[in-house]
């Protein structure tokens, strides 16, 4: 190869590197818009209703003494963009060190519409029950005398909840 050919090859490589590097993120692996759900979207009230109603049913079916419940929103992707889903986290009283997860899951799965295990496509750890696309993970709480349950709604809310704070809903869950 001559010196001129080497210089041309180096110049071409420099141009390609300068042009290709900035547009590398525009591939099919980096969609410009978030994926839209295959099913109809849910309003904020519908998303909230999914998890709050499920929490009330779980509390009633397992006769839980709820100490705390919180409603929050979480995104269903790693960009923080819609779709979002509603989530309830609740704590309940249990004997010190006692893990009632399996007992609670069995009680809930015996209720109409509920099934043991996660919905198709999910592989969470612990005791899990679901009704349609709404599922609950049951486990120990954050102190020895508490159990914890996280209830997840469907990823079908297209409103931007990135700045929506959590809401304490203990009385609502206890009362219904």
The secondary structure of 72-141 as a DSSP string is EEEESSSSSPSPEEEEEEEEEE--TT---HHHHHHHHHTSTT-EESPPTT---SSEEEEETTEEEEEEE-
C-alpha–C-alpha distance, residues 100 and 23, integer Å: 53
Contact by Cβ (8 Å): 84, 133: no
pTM: 0.77
Q: For position 175, what pLDDT does the model report?
A: 87
Q: Which of 27-41, 116-130, 138-152, 158-172 has the lowest mean pLDDT?
A: 27-41
The Cα angle at residue 169 between residues 128 and 64, in degrees rounded to 5: 50
List, for residues 16-26, the tens digit of each pLDDT value. Answer: 444 444 444 43
List, for residues 79-118, the tens digit of each pLDDT value. Answer: 989 999 999 999 999 988 888 999 999 999 999 999 999 9
Radius of gyration of the chain from Cα atoms? 24
Q: Does the pLDDT at position 13 exceed 80?
A: no
Contact by Cβ (8 Å): 162, 44: no
């Amino acid at each position: 190869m001559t010196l001129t050919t080497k210089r041309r090859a180096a110049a071409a490589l420099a141009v390609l590197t300068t042009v290709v590097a900035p547009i590398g993120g525009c591939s099919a692996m980096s969609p410009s818009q978030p994926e839209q759900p295959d099913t109809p979207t849910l309003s904020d009230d519908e998303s909230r209703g999914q998890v709050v109603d499920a929490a009330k049913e779980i509390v009633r079916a397992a006769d839980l003494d709820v100490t705390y419940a919180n409603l929050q929103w979480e995104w269903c992707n790693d960009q923080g963009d819609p779709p979002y889903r509603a989530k309830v986290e609740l704590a309940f009283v249990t004997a010190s060190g006692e893990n009632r997860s399996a007992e609670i899951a069995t009680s809930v799965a015996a209720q109409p519409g509920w099934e043991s295990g996660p919905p198709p496509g999910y592989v969470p750890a612990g005791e899990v029950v679901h009704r349609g696309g709404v599922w609950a993970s049951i486990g120990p709480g954050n102190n020895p005398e508490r159990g914890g349950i996280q209830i997840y709604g469907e990823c079908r809310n297209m409103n931007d909840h990135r700045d929506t704070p959590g809401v304490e809903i203990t009385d609502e869950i206890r009362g219904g």
